């Protein structure tokens, strides 16, 4: 029942979706997010506005789609050979990416135009996947590890909460501390 159809690559829908997404990214860079309008995007994408309205409903849902795409991690987390180091480093990068002005903007957009919580769920899945990778590696090495959910509660949630609700004074050190505390009581704990 989503407005985002599962289009096969190569079809016309796919080309339109591609063109529109590209147009959004280009225009975001050129004129800035607050000046963006649906007709402007449509013109750039070589599409009529009504197409966008019909497919995405409104600007916010479209931006939400684009934002989620950009929040998808591009590479698996770095491997430092030890859970504590992996998690610390991942948390730090995660925080830096999300707390940067551009990251925060994407995050807001992703949450914003998301009536059914679908895109938000996707963001959460990305993080869970990354953490799953880190933990799986540690298990492979024979380390004793916590649940993915525990790490989400102890690391991801605090970072997100602070980014969204109290955006001041976020440092890499904070991310490190969270990672360490999340591992207390496990073999990887300090």
Binding residues for DNA, rule: CB under 7 A, are: 5, 8, 10-13, 15-17, 37-40, 46-51, 53-55, 57-59
Buried b (16+ CB within 10 A) or exposed e, 90-103: bbbbbbeebbeeeb
Contact 123, 68 (CB under 8 A): yes
Contacts (Cβ under 8 Å, ≥6 apart) of 76:
130, 133
- From the list DNA, its own copies, none, which binds 151 (C-beta under 5 to 8 Å, kind-based)? none
Q: Between 57 and 167, name the residue whose CB sits nearer to DNA.
A: 57
Provide Rg for the chain, Cα atoms: 19
**165 binds its own copies per the rule CB under 8 A:** yes
State the binding string over 17-46 for its own copies (x if CB under 8 A, else -): -----------------x------------
Rounded least distance, CB 112 to its own copies, Å: 5
Does 117 bind its own copies (CB under 8 A)? Our answer is yes
Q: Give me the least distance between CB of 185 and its own copies, in Å please.
A: 9
Q: Which of 111, 133, 170, 172 binds its own copies (CB under 8 A)?
A: 111
Compute the distance between CA of residue 138 and CA of residue 79 in angstroms, rounded to an integer.
Answer: 10
Q: Are 95 and 170 a contacting pair, CB within 8 Å?
A: yes
DSSP 113: T
Q: Which residues bind to its own copies, rule: CB under 8 A? A: 34, 108, 111-112, 115, 117, 120-121, 123-124, 152-154, 156-158, 160-162, 164-167, 178
């Amino acid at each position: 029942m989503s407005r985002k159809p599962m289009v096969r690559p190569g079809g016309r829908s796919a080309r339109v979706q591609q063109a529109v997404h590209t147009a959004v990214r280009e225009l975001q860079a050129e004129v800035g997010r607050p000046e963006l309008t649906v007709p402007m995007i449509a013109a750039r994408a070589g599409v009529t506005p009504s197409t966008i309205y019909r497919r995405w409903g409104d600007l916010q849902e479209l931006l939400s789609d684009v934002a989620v795409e950009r929040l998808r991690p591009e590479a698996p987390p770095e491997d430092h050979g030890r859970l504590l180091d992996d998690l610390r480093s991942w948390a730090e990068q995660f925080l830096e990416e999300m707390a940067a002005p551009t990251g925060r903007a994407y995050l807001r957009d992703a949450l914003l135009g998301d009536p059914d919580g679908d895109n938000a769920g996707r963001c959460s899945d990305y993080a869970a996947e990354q953490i799953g990778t880190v933990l799986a590696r540690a298990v492979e090495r024979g380390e004793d590890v916590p649940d993915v959910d525990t790490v989400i509660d102890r690391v991801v949630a605090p970072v997100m909460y602070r980014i969204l609700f109290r955006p001041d004074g976020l440092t890499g050190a904070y991310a490190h501390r969270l990672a360490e505390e999340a591992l207390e009581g496990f073999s990887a704990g300090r």
